Amino acid sequence: MDKKKILVVDDEEAIAEFIEINLVRSGFEVIKAFCGEEALKKIEIDDPDLVVLDIMMPDMDGFEVCKKTRKFSDVPIIMLTARDDGYDKVIGLEFGADDYMTKPFNPWELIARIQAILRRTAKKDAQSKDKKVRFGCITIDPMGRKVWKNDKLVELTPREYDILMLFSSNPGISFSRQEVRQKIWGHEFIEERSIDVHVRRLRDKIEDSPENPSLIMTIWGVGYKSNPDAFGKK
């Protein structure tokens, strides 16, 4: 079984290392960030399974990191704070955090909470994979990696399917060409204009009118996004 990857974000290196030692002992892979900007980059590029996020950081506090993360990722987040009055918990949960712990904390309690959240996430992911996604005239079977248009099977390349899943899994969220490249190709080099070619070929297969797309929309000067109004409709 692959190790779960945990991103630990804390500007105090001693605390980050303390958390890392205990997580590694429990079988997790750990990556670290020491400021908000670094955390956002690692969430996007390294795709961790969960984030342990300190609130009090000098450049960008944990609330802002959490808020910005929720614009492009649903990765589980546990927030850490030195305040015990409940205020940080309320704000953190409003910004999309999944759990909250007050410093100082028992590392084994943190590990138990991480494991509980990962179990819930795995169950949710398994359930969602069993469900077909209806996206305009398209039906997607995530489990079988199959796509139908008006009940007829559509033959997509693996990259075309991955692009379709990126947009259908993030209704209405805009992605730049660079973000599409990072999420689909990772560190593999590909020119940005090649992404336009892949999107055009995908549109030719799934859109009723590729010249006037209604599923994957072009955001001029930015990139692309899926049409949120098309979900659940034929």
Give per-residue pLDDT as tens, 26-75: 999 999 999 999 999 999 888 899 999 999 998 899 999 999 998 888 88
C-alpha to C-alpha distance for 220 and 192, rounded to whole angstroms:
14
Cβ neighbours of 132 (radius 10 Å): 13
Confidence of residue 103 (pLDDT cuts 50, 70, 90): confident
Q: What pLDDT is stored for residue 130 in this prediction? A: 55
Which tokens is 134 given? 């209806």
pLDDT of residue 120 exceeding 60, the answer is: yes
Which tokens is 150 given? 């008006």
Q: What pLDDT is stored for residue 136 in this prediction? A: 84
Cβ–Cβ < 8 Å for 63, 89: no
User: What's the pLDDT tens digit per position in 121-149?
Assistant: 776 665 555 577 888 888 988 877 889 99
Q: What is the DSSP string of 175-197?
A: EEHHHHHHHHHTTS---HHHHHH
CA dist 107 → 26, 84, 166 (Å): 11, 17, 35
Which helix (H) or strand (E) segment holds residue 14: the answer is helix 13-25
Q: What pLDDT is stored for residue 125 in this prediction? A: 62
C-alpha to C-alpha distance for 34 and 11, rounded to whole angstroms:
4
CA dist 210 → 147, 166, 202, 206, 207 (Å): 17, 19, 9, 8, 5
Q: Which residue has the tokens 């819930």?
A: 120
C-alpha to C-alpha distance for 65 and 40, rounded to whole angstroms:
7
Q: What pLDDT is stored for residue 71 in this prediction? A: 83
- Mean pLDDT, residues 2-29: 93
Q: What pLDDT is stored for residue 94 in this prediction? A: 81
- Mean pLDDT, residues 152-175: 90
Can you say whether the dihedral through the CA atoms of 151, 154, 159, 163 is positive or negative?
A: negative
C-alpha to C-alpha distance for 205 and 203, rounded to whole angstroms:
5
Cα-Cα-Cα-Cα torsion 109, 113, 119, 125, nearest 10 degrees, comes to -160
Peptide bond before residue 104 is cis, with ω within 30 degrees of 0:
yes
- In the chain, the amino acid numbered 144 is G
User: What's the pLDDT tens digit per position in 172-221?
Assistant: 889 999 889 888 887 777 787 889 999 999 999 999 999 999 999 999 88
From the list 130, 55, 131, the residue with the least C-alpha distance to 95 is 55
- In the chain, the amino acid numbered 43 is I
pLDDT, greater one: 74 or 159: 159
Which tokens is 127 given? 């359930």
